[in-house]
Amino acid sequence: MTIREVRLSTTPSDESIADLRLGDIVYLDGLMYTAREGVYMRALDDKANIPMELPSQSAANFHCSPAARINPDGSFDMGAVTATASFRFAKWLPEWMAKTGAKLIVGKGGMSSRDYKEYFVPNGAVYLSTVGYGTGALLGRGVENVEAVHWNEELGLAQAMWVIKCNGMGPFIVASDLNGDCLFERENAKIAENVARVYEGTKPAVLKRYGESDDRTDEVI
Amino acid sequence: MIPISLIQSTAEVLMDKAAIEIPQDYLDGLQQAAKTEDGDLSSFVLKAMLENYEAAKEDRRAMCGDTGVPRWFVKMGNEARVEGGMVALEAALRRATASATNGVPLRPNRVHPLWRTDHDNNVGIGAPEIEYGFEPEGEWIDLITVHKGGLFGTDYRMLFPSDGIQGIKRFYLDSLMAFGKRGLACQPAIIGIGLGGSKDICMTLGKRASTLRIVGSRNSDPRIAEMEDEFKELGNSIGMGAMGFVGKNMVIDCNIEVGYCHTGGMPMSVHAFCLSSRRAAARIHADGRVEHRTDPDWFTDYQRRETVEWEPQREAAE
């Protein structure tokens, strides 16, 4: 299989999103903002006003805390940028998407196909995963400028809302499409065929744990 | 007497090196993996990672945006003395951690577990961790920093003698399967396994096996060394590669460390040192010489000693 590489705007047209296929490699142009649990809680639970025009300025939400600093003169230095695991944010994403019109959720490891079908597809959105994980230096090179940082005093540098200008920033990999299909689940299914062989001969631990039984009236011995 | 200013300046250099320069042993291991990988997506990922290490070094920027949680391992020769004593040393390491967080820059990852307050410098209660080891001879001090990333890829379980090797294998595979999917463990990784010790030390042994031993090293017990080879191969036979895509490289190496445990139990821990296996070490001599290296060389015969007294001559003869 040859891997297809695509340039994509962070305010993408519906057609350009519909054209994306699972496993495509994407490089982004335009403004992208970081938002993870701190931003979600502040914007959705505490109802603070989001300090950007969304989605007109950006429809790309990056699950990321950069390795960055704010200089005494107020300028920024951003070294490496890498995503954090997205599955933890499923709680806030449906409301966030509805509120901000985000079309590209960029993070680590993707979501489940149920998430994609329930609220990505209806919003015309797809998931882009970082590669590696940890191509932080390559992604850092794709940051043309740090435009702003919001809520750093309230949330700290790691949870703040960083606004970055991307110039061919990547690589990212398309992990969901407008059918709601999930790249990782496709790969899991292929690997599953081999699992029984790998486990052959091993045996369950003599002391069980809750989780292996969900009935809390059970004993674990 | 080792001057405290030299400890702090060396520690700052180590923070920078760990964050930016992938250790050669891990790089060699990953290049080897990239040669054997035939999964198309996995191959792309490994190629991108190799480019990323180059970019980090060229630009002097951190190799990964999650720069991990900086911590310190300090080892001293028995005759080493530090100016101002160990309290001064701990202060110097905390200062170096804070200043490098702003300097490199690193991501200020450390927050209070409940209040999520952030000092924006990777320093706080119990952070950075500073752990100590000693060697019978020498006036030197080794500073080792590890910036381990990742919330995934680590697990602990109390197994029992009747679980045997097959139980150990199963828990090892469970850990790889659970955290390898979608690449949560950021594999291919250096997998460290801790066997034995008391519960907390079991975790410590596994963590040190993954972070303080290099790719290609083997346990000095030949039977454990054989298990390391076997477990590496087992992990790579799952059919899972980088990012959980179909592939054949999940484990760059598997290191096992053991400690004596309660006669009734067999505690086990599994740790994954990720694609950004960040570590850097330096030996500071009493005469002011500083030698940098990437091999922590932590697990010496002395660290693994079994006897009441340390009698290297007799052990060597046996």
**Residue-wise over A179-195: b if at least 16 C-beta within 10 A, else e?**
ebbbbbbebbeebeeee
The C-alpha of A196 sits at a distance from chain B's nearest C-alpha, in angstroms, of: 10
Chain A residues whose beta carbon lies within 8 Å of the beta carbon of residue B174: none
Element (H, E) at B82: none
Contact B184 A195 (CB under 8 A): no
d(C-alpha A173, C-alpha A203), whole Å: 37
Q: Retrieve residue B243's tokens.
A: 């990012």
What's the pLDDT score for residue A214? 84
Chain B residues whose beta carbon lies within 8 Å of the beta carbon of residue A199: 170, 173
Work out the angle at residue A87's Cα, subtended by the Cα atoms of residues A86 and A91, and round it to the nearest 5 degrees.
105
Mean pLDDT of chain A: 95
Number of domains in chain A: 1
- Option in A137, A202, A209 nearest B169 (CB): A202
Residue among B147, B243, B269 with most chain A CBs within 10 A, to mutate: B243
What's the pLDDT score for residue B317? 54
Residue A213: inside a domain: no
Q: CB under 8 Å to B100, separation ≥6 — which residues?
A: B12, B15, B16, B19, B70, B106
Residue A32: inside a domain: yes
Distances (CA, A) of A192 to A129, A189, B28, B171: 22, 5, 30, 17
Select the more confidently predicted residue: A73 or B315: A73
Three-state SS at B315: helix
The C-alpha of B81 sits at a distance from chain A's nearest C-alpha, in angstroms, of: 36
The C-alpha of B184 sits at a distance from chain A's nearest C-alpha, in angstroms, of: 7
Compute the Cα dihedral for A154, A152, A137, A10 and give only its sign. positive
Residue with tokens 């900086």: B70
Q: Residue A1: is its pLDDT beyond 90?
A: no
Contact B55 A141 (CB under 8 A): yes
Contact B109, B148 (CB under 8 A): no
Q: Retrieve residue A88's tokens.
A: 């933890």
- Option in B63, B157, B166 nearest A203 (CB): B166
- Option in A129, A137, A193 nearest B52 (CB): A137
Average pLDDT over residues A45-64: 96
Work out the angle at residue B135's Cα, subtended by the Cα atoms of residues B24 and B23, and round it to the nearest 5 degrees.
10
- Option in B62, B167, B181 nearest A80 (CB): B62
Backbone angles phi, psi at B230, to 5 degrees: -65, -40
Distances (CA, A) of B240 to A183, B33, B39: 14, 13, 9
Chain A residues whose beta carbon lies within 8 Å of the beta carbon of residue B186: 132-134
The C-alpha of A207 sits at a distance from chain B's nearest C-alpha, in angstroms, of: 7
Residue A118: inside a domain: yes
Chain A residues whose beta carbon lies within 8 Å of the beta carbon of residue B244: 184, 187-188, 191
The pLDDT tens digits of the residues spanning A117-175 come to 999 999 999 999 999 988 999 999 999 999 999 999 999 888 999 999 999 999 999 99
Residue A217: inside a domain: no
Q: ipTM of this model?
A: 0.91
d(C-alpha A102, C-alpha B71), whole Å: 37
Q: Is B156 on the interface with A (CB under 8 A)?
A: no
**Residue-wise over A142-168: b if at least 16 C-beta within 10 A, else e?**
bbeebbbbbbbeebbbbbbbbbbbbee
Three-state SS at B119: coil
Amino acid of residue B287:
D
What's the pLDDT score for residue A30? 98
Omega prior to B23 cis, within 30 of 0: no
Contact B26, B276 (CB under 8 A): no
Q: DSSP characters for B235-262?
A: HHTSSB-GGG-B-S-SEEEEEEEEE---
Domain that holds residue A130: 5-199
Confidence of residue A33 (pLDDT cuts 50, 70, 90): very high
**Percent of chain A beyond pLDDT 90?**
84
- Option in A134, A184, A198 nearest B238 (CB): A198
Q: CB under 8 Å to A132, separation ≥6 — which residues?
A: A82, B45, B48, B49, B52, B64, B183, B186, B242, B243, B275
What's the pLDDT score for residue B45? 96
What's the pLDDT score for residue A208? 93
Give the domain CATH number at A25. 3.20.130.10
The total of other beta-carbon atoms located within 10 Å of residue A217's CB is 5
Residue in chain B nearest A2 by alpha carbon:
B40
Residue A151: inside a domain: yes
Residue A15: inside a domain: yes
Residue A79: inside a domain: yes
- Option in A85, A134, A190 nearest B63 (CB): A134
Which of the residues in chain B have pLDDT under 70?
Answer: 313-318
Chain A residues whose beta carbon lies within 8 Å of the beta carbon of residue B237: 198
Residue A212: inside a domain: no
